Amino acid sequence: MSPSPLGFGTVPVGNSVMRAESIRNPGPKKVILTGAVLSGSGLRVAYHPLFPHRLRPGASVAFNLIFAPQLAGTVTGTLTVYYKYPRNGSWYRTWRAIHVSGMGAATSGSLGVNPSSLNFGTVQISATKTLPETVRNSGRRAVTISQMAVTGTGFAFSGISPPVTLGTGQSATFKVTFRPQASGSVVGKLTINSNASNRMLAVPLSGSGSAAGKIVVSPSSVNFGSVTVGTAKTQAGTISAVNGPVTISATKVTGSEFSVSGISFPLTLNTGQSSSYKLVFAPTASGTTSATVTWLSSASNSPLNQPLTGTGGAGPQHSVTLSWNASTSRNVVGYNIYRGNVSGGPYTRINTTPDPHLQNVDNNVQGGHTYYYVVTAVDSAGAESVYSGQVKAVVPYP
């Protein structure tokens, strides 16, 4: 195979030129052409032999290529010819690349867009997705965009308001949006009319609308029942996506005695997927209380409220029973009992008058706390002895 590079020279934008590329088999064996591919903006194949095409040694075949530049500037491309030839009793497959080049010359202003098409992918119904689009004058003269229009349900553009004049090399960037109104694929077109050599540009638009998903929490409401003050109760729950994917962004909980745990945000769930979480009720006072978990998401039913109720129940009544030996001192009429929260004091007296008995019950204690007690003897004149030895009392929780 002995092809040569193919050059089209300079061609005015909007015009076209055809050139022939001859491919010769220098031999000594036959060659079979199996296909050809041409790349490059504005380049196309006008004629090629029917494949597979047998090329004898010394024979040639012509490919007719057309260059029709749409924009000013240099264009390069490649004509790739695939072929096979016999070698060692089998067919050896290979290819040859032929360099193709040309220059588009602007006879007046010439507009181009980037990107050449816009695909918005899948967008939920009533949601909006925005993509940028740029129009540029690559010609030698100023161009005035006189009108722009868009077709296709849900498509729109903003950020540019014709008439707009672009000097040589100038560009303008604007926004194209897609806000689907129903499920399914949508196609449209953005057209740009001007006095450029290519008077109308068309930008294909495409996208797909999908139904907005919903979230479902289970259970829909939670009653924790009675929970002892100072303790906590946990209730498991799940949150699921139906009718479409959703992204859960956050939760808000009213009421300081309730909380949500075991779940992190943002969390994206596809249709049918679910995630588990935990609801916690930790009452700090007796009585019934209520709260609401508000789930914030991209779902159509956002925000979703989940009611919570619970009752704080009083814990068991605790007491500390104290007893001591009688004082051997004279004129003792009773005893004062002192309590402290730290070993070694300070202590606070818990009886108002000297107790004549050798036993006392302290009912003002709380579960989970440790107390330290001492006793003094009081005589008839009101004089007190020194503190007795300290005793420690650990109250169970709750």
pLDDT of residue 2: 64
- pLDDT band with cut points at 50, 70 and 90 for residue 266: very high
- Of 93-107, 170-184, 212-226, the one with minimum mean pLDDT is 93-107
Percentage of the chain with pLDDT > 90?
80
Predicted confidence at residue 141, as pLDDT, reads 83
Note the pLDDT of residue 70: 81
Predicted local confidence at residue 1, as pLDDT:
62
Say if 6-105 and 214-313 have the same CATH topology.
yes
Per-residue pLDDT tens over the stretch 328-347: 998 999 999 999 999 999 99
pLDDT at 29 over 80: yes
Query: Is residue 6 within 8 Å of residue 99, measured between CB atoms?
Result: yes
Mean pLDDT over the full length of the chain: 93
What is the β-pairing status of strands 200-210 and 184-194?
Answer: antiparallel
Q: What is the pLDDT confidence band of residue 3, given thresholds at 50, 70 and 90? A: confident
| 286: its two tokens | 């007796």
- Percent of the chain beyond pLDDT 70? 99
Please tell me the predicted confidence (pLDDT) of residue 4: 83
Tell me, what's the pLDDT at 298?
A: 87
- pLDDT of res. 245: 85
Taking the complete model, does pTM exceed 0.85, yes or no?
A: no
Q: What is the pLDDT of residues 108-164, one digit of tens each?
A: 778 999 999 999 998 988 789 999 999 999 877 889 999 999 999 999 999 999 999
Nearby residues of 391 by Cβ (< 8 Å), 6 or more positions away:
322, 372, 373, 374
**Which CATH number fits the domain 111-210, given the four candidates 1.20.120.420, 2.60.40.10, 2.60.320.10, 3.60.150.10?**
2.60.40.10
CATH code reported for the domain at 320-394: 2.60.40.10
Query: pLDDT, tens digit, for every residue of 345-389?
Result: 999 999 999 999 999 999 999 888 999 999 999 999 999 999 999
Q: Where are the domains of the chain?
A: 6-105, 111-210, 214-313, 320-394
Q: Is pLDDT larger for residue 239 or for residue 196? A: 239
Check whether domain 6-105 has CATH 2.60.40.10, yes or no: yes
Three-state DSSP string of the chain: CCCCCEEEEEEECCCCEEEEEEEECCCCCCEEEEEEEEECCCEEEEECCCCCEEECCCCEEEEEEEECCCCCEEEEEEEEEEEEEEECCEEEEEEEEEEEEEEEECCCCCEEEECCCEEEEEEECCCCEEEEEEEEECCCCCEEEEEEEEECCCEEEECCCCCEEECCCCEEEEEEEECCCCCEEEEEEEEEEECCCCCEEEEEEEEEEECCCEEEEECCCEEEEEEECCCCEEEEEEEEEECCCEEEEEEEECCCCEEEECCCCCEEECCCCEEEEEEEECCCCCEEEEEEEEEEECCCCCCEEEEEEEEEECCCCCCEEEECCCCCCCCEEEEEEEEECCCCCCCEECCCCCECCCEEEECCCCCCCEEEEEEEEEECCCCECCCCCCEEEECCCC
CATH code given to domain 214-313: 2.60.40.10
Least confident of 42-46, 69-73, 91-95, 175-179: 69-73
What are the pLDDT digits (tens) for 299-328? 989 999 999 999 999 878 899 999 999 999
The answer on pLDDT for 107 being more than 80 is no
